[in-house]
Structure 1
Amino acid sequence: NNPVEYAVHRRTSFASQLATIGTLTPISIHLTCCYQSIHKYLRHIMRSAGRTVLISTFVSLPVTRSFSTLIRSERAQARLVPQRSLAKRSHASSIWGEIVVFGALFASPGGSEITDTKKFDAKQLDFAMGYLNKHHSDLLADFATVFTEIGEEKAKKNAFSGGSFRIEGAKIVGLDATGIDLDVIVKARSDREAKIKRTGMKLDVDPIKAMSRVHKTLPMIPREYLGTNPVDDFVRRMNRLCLIVNRPAVTGKLIQLAIQIGGDGVGKVHDNLYLNQVPHNRFVRQYFYDMASDAALDAVIQCSEGKISNRMKMTVMFPEMNPSMDSYRIGTLLELTRDVGIKLAEQNLRVRICVQSSMGVGIFTGVPKQLSGVATLLQRMDWQSGEGEENEGMIGNYINFGAIGKEHVANVGQDKKGKRVEQDDVFILICPQSMVGVESSIMGPLSEMVDAAGDRPVILINPDLSDKQSSQGQQGVRGRQDRMDFADSFKPIFHFSNTYVSGTSYFPILGSLCKMNPSALWVAHQRRDLVQGGEVYVPVLSTEEPPTGDLIMSSFEK
């Protein structure tokens, strides 16, 4: 109603004036400049002021025209200048005019707004827009229906008479890591021909009110998960929207798109792993060891920064690590643990590797078959810790061994002989699990150890914290909810498992499900054999939470 006019002479003075404007303040800006540079100029000064244009309407006026004649009332509608008109005139550098911008400014929100200045390059932008417009125009139409004001208009006009207003298609005309601009093809019953309406939407958006019952919203992508690569950020946010509009199959294709146009390879699994062949190649084993070790180190760093909980778990279930299969190899489990422990110890962290001891009462004691002999083998294996070797002095100093229980948590102090004891920094627990029978639950010793560790990282490798059969209902009824809550408190920092035809058939391998690091998304892959030989794992599904088996199978191409 009372727009504040700013005569702009210098870029710096304009930015400083913008910084004083309150949120959601209507303004008008008078600029006298070449049409060709106006868009770039406005983006720069808005960024300098730390503000974002929420709505902007560009109106071309002759220099001699009075500003007061443009606004006749508070609801005056400004005439939009089509982009093609500007394009025709931009080549003539002698053509000058006055650009009036009406809009609202708001401070950048503290949510998941990306502060990284990296953008799509020209090739990435062209490829991404071309792919989405050619193969997923129906998805873009769904976005316009569920997330934009055009969807609100459609809901209102169809409230009394269905089919009065239709969205027939949509096309992307602009995008970046935070939002997209759409040209939406709409047709009202009273119109002879369809019209094109332009609208924009942020990628961090919830469904409009009219669609919120049909399309349930999902949590926003946490800010700390973004800002690494503009392509990956864009795809991750787009995948959230795809799940909201019930198009999960598109998420895998967008992951493939990111890999092709310059993302960081999020969700990519190495080709030609041949996991159906056992024993695995040494390269294959080392490939998983390296991924798990890097994920563990990332998790410890994020835990020290307070970004994630200190209760963590790693699930590594390729065939040689799966105890349900006859291909299970105890040496692979030990080698994985060794690589993870050494990776952390190389960062001057003191690591304690623990294997649960015998459980039970009287003659009914023992350890799970999966862990039989592991504690002894773990200490006897080659750690390259001898004199003159690569990890000289690491065992007994930076890497120690123990069992599961609060008595195995070392704090700074002295032992019985008066020797100084250093505090453990990280705890790695190998396959903690309960056994069948009374007094054979791992939950008690494990919870006591976690409490004694305080805020220090506790990493479980391939845990099985489900209840087992027992007399007197010890692991069946009493305290079951508390045990389930405790098990759920351990968050995945790395996951790799194969997908099979059924729970009892382990051949052939259909695909995989993986989460590469604590902040990564879950990606399901379909294994495909190549005609010329070899195999590839193709991303088919991407979610923020572990997907169900039915959702994974429905995403596979037949």
Structure 2
Amino acid sequence: AHQTSTMSAIGTQLAPIVAPVVGAPTHRSRPRGMRVIAMGGRMDGTSGSLFGGGKTVADEANLPPPGYRSRTDIPKMLNNTPHPREVRKWFYDDCRESVVAAVTGANPKTRVKAWIEFPELNVNGDVYRIGTLLELVREVAMALAADGKRVRVCVQGSMGQGVFQGLPLSLSGVARILDMMDWGDADEFITRGSIGGDVPQPDDAYFILISPQNIVGYSVLPYLQEMEKTAGDRPIIMINPKLGDIQSAGNVMSIRGRGERREYVEKTWEEVYHFRLLYKKPFFFPIYGALRYGTGGMWELYKKFGKMEQEEWKLLRTYDDGDPGAAEITKRILAKD
């Protein structure tokens, strides 16, 4: 009896590491819940049934205003990678239009950020392409330099000291690539730099920061704040920043001061462009919809219908009070139309 009990315990310990047969059918006693989320770890929200046909939403709150300019021309088949040139160009143009308008308009903004995340710009996926991010940066920089203004393109350097120096993996080698990039006719007006108080020069008109982010043990926020003071009222643009706290030893980014750090990131920096795709957690396929914010001034929730070449995008709702949140997004995406 003791031997049988022992073998049973060993079997129980080994069971979790036995790999399932690829392609073998799986059986569930009940359907798994669903939350529609976006790339980049935005996973908060409520659940609903994927297999129950969705919910019927009777209210008409936040319907698009009459004549609203929607972007139903969002590219199709975005899970096909690498993306064709015309797909990338759609995102470059959409983001550039909003960013440039924000910092050069009648009432120019000085601290802005843009978040753009489709498959080639998802650092959590296996098709992330740093070249796509740098091509986007080049489009924005060249548009700002078109009238002869100087633009400094910045990527953070290593943080820490000695053997403890570190750099986010997604930014590894970016500084070297920037030095080799072709800036076309705007080459003489575009310079490269890092992030810090000694970076801005008197003749710099705009600053573009490529994905500034914290790492374990070190925060980029002090460097960013020093750079802000030196730049004064000159516009600084952050593209795909990741400035959330990363817990580590040494009392770095601890609970103390978290409210101030969060307020700095959310209140000081105004989001002028946002695009992210919506999925079922934790997968990146299929795509259920998209959330967009741009020059229209309202947050736009799109739902994708059809498959392959028959895909089409429909604008479901618009919001003028910020990101609608995962609960609202899930409710609308799963609704019967």
Q: TM-score with structure 2 length normalisation?
A: 0.78
Q: Conserved in 1, the CA contact under 8 Å of 2:75 and 2:87?
A: no
What is the match of residue 244 of structure 2? Answer: 466
Q: Take 2:245 and 2:59, find their aligned partners in 1: how far apart are those partners? A: 33
Q: Take 1:321 and 1:248, find their aligned partners in 2: how far apart are those partners? A: 35
Which residue type is aligned with residue 451 of structure 1?
K
Which of 69, 72, 78 matches 1:269? 72
Q: Take 1:363 and 1:301, find their aligned partners in 2: how far apart are those partners? A: 43
What is the match of residue 145 of structure 2? Answer: 345
Q: Conserved in 1, the CA contact under 8 Å of 2:75 and 2:90?
A: no
Q: Take 1:299 and 1:380, find their aligned partners in 2: how far apart are those partners? A: 29
Determine whether 1:524 maps to 2:301: yes
The Cα of 1:378 is off from its aligned counterpart by 1.4
Q: Conserved in 2, the CA contact under 8 Å of 1:352 and 1:400?
A: yes
The CA deviation string for residues 440-485 of structure 1, in whole angstroms up to 9 with x for no partner, is 1001000110121111111000001101111132201232222111
Q: Take 1:495 and 1:445, find their aligned partners in 2: how far apart are those partners? A: 25
What is the match of residue 398 of structure 1? Answer: 189
What is the match of residue 298 of structure 1? Answer: 101
What is the match of residue 263 of structure 2? Answer: 485
The Cα of 1:374 is off from its aligned counterpart by 0.6
Q: Take 2:108 and 2:60, find their aligned partners in 1: how far apart are those partners? A: 30
Which residue type is aligned with residue 405 of structure 1?
G
What is the match of residue 443 of structure 1? Answer: 221
Which of 291, 294, 318 matches 2:118? 318
The Cα of 1:325 is off from its aligned counterpart by 0.9
Which residue type is aligned with residue 204 of structure 2?
D
Q: Take 1:512 and 1:348, find their aligned partners in 2: how far apart are those partners? A: 36
Report the CA distance shift for 1:272/1:354 in structure 2 as closer, same or farther (over 3 A): closer
SS of the aligned residue for 1:512 comes to strand
Q: Conserved in 2, the CA contact under 8 Å of 1:248 and 1:541?
A: no
Q: Take 1:466 and 1:459, find their aligned partners in 2: how far apart are those partners? A: 18
**Where do 1:20-59 residues align within 5 Å?**
none
The CA deviation string for residues 494-543 of structure 1, in whole angstroms up to 9 with x for no partner, is 111001111x21111111000122x6100010111169x42111111211
Which residue type is aligned with residue 431 of structure 1?
S
SS of the aligned residue for 2:262 comes to helix
Report the CA distance shift for 1:547/1:524 in structure 2 as closer, same or farther (over 3 A): same
Structure 1 stretches (4+) deviating beyond 3 angstroms?
A: 246-250
The Cα of 1:383 is off from its aligned counterpart by 2.3
Identical positions, percent: 36
The Cα of 1:268 is off from its aligned counterpart by 1.6
Q: Take 2:58 and 2:244, find their aligned partners in 1: how far apart are those partners? A: 33
Report the CA distance shift for 1:496/1:248 in structure 2 as closer, same or farther (over 3 A): farther
SS of the aligned residue for 1:540 comes to strand
Determine whether 1:408 maps to 2:211: no
Which of 86, 90, 100 matches 1:287? 90
Report the CA distance shift for 1:271/1:323 in structure 2 as closer, same or farther (over 3 A): closer
SS of the aligned residue for 2:256 comes to coil
Question: What is the alpha-carbon root mean square deviation over aligned residues?
Answer: 1.9
What is the match of residue 279 of structure 2? Answer: 500
What is the match of residue 251 of structure 1? Answer: 62
**Where do 1:101-500 residues align within 5 Å?**
249-252=60-63, 254-255=64-65, 257-258=66-67, 263=68, 265=69, 267-302=70-105, 305=106, 307=107, 309-384=109-184, 391=185, 394-395=186-187, 397-411=188-202, 423-437=203-217, 440-488=218-266, 489-500=268-279
Which residue type is aligned with residue 507 of structure 1?
F
The CA deviation string for residues 37-92 of structure 1, in whole angstroms up to 9 with x for no partner, is xxxxxxxxxxxxxxxxxxxxxxxxxxxxxxxxxxxxxxxxxxxxxxxxxxxxxxxx
The Cα of 1:549 is off from its aligned counterpart by 0.8
Q: Take 1:479 and 1:383, find their aligned partners in 2: how far apart are those partners? A: 41
Report the CA distance shift for 1:441/1:271 in structure 2 as closer, same or farther (over 3 A): closer
The structure having more radius of gyration, on CA atoms, is: 1
What is the match of residue 541 of structure 1? Answer: 317
Q: Conserved in 2, the CA contact under 8 Å of 1:527 and 1:535?
A: yes
Q: Take 1:410 and 1:506, find their aligned partners in 2: how far apart are those partners? A: 42
Q: Conserved in 2, the CA contact under 8 Å of 1:272 and 1:535?
A: no
Report the CA distance shift for 1:271/1:536 in structure 2 as closer, same or farther (over 3 A): farther
Report the CA distance shift for 1:541/1:483 in structure 2 as closer, same or farther (over 3 A): same
Larger RCO of the pair (alpha carbons < 8 Å, separation 6+): 2
Q: Conserved in 1, the CA contact under 8 Å of 2:208 and 2:236?
A: yes
SS of the aligned residue for 2:62 comes to helix
Q: Conserved in 2, the CA contact under 8 Å of 1:272 and 1:534?
A: no
SS of the aligned residue for 2:250 comes to helix
Could you say which structure has the higher strand fraction?
1
Unaligned 5+ runs, structure 2: 1-56
Q: Take 2:173 and 2:162, find their aligned partners in 1: how far apart are those partners? A: 20
Which of 550, 554, 557 matches 2:327? 550
The Cα of 1:327 is off from its aligned counterpart by 1.4
Q: Conserved in 2, the CA contact under 8 Å of 1:434 and 1:467?
A: yes
Q: Take 1:407 and 1:248, find their aligned partners in 2: how far apart are those partners? A: 54
Q: Take 2:169 and 2:152, find their aligned partners in 1: how far apart are those partners? A: 22
Report the CA distance shift for 1:477/1:320 in structure 2 as closer, same or farther (over 3 A): same
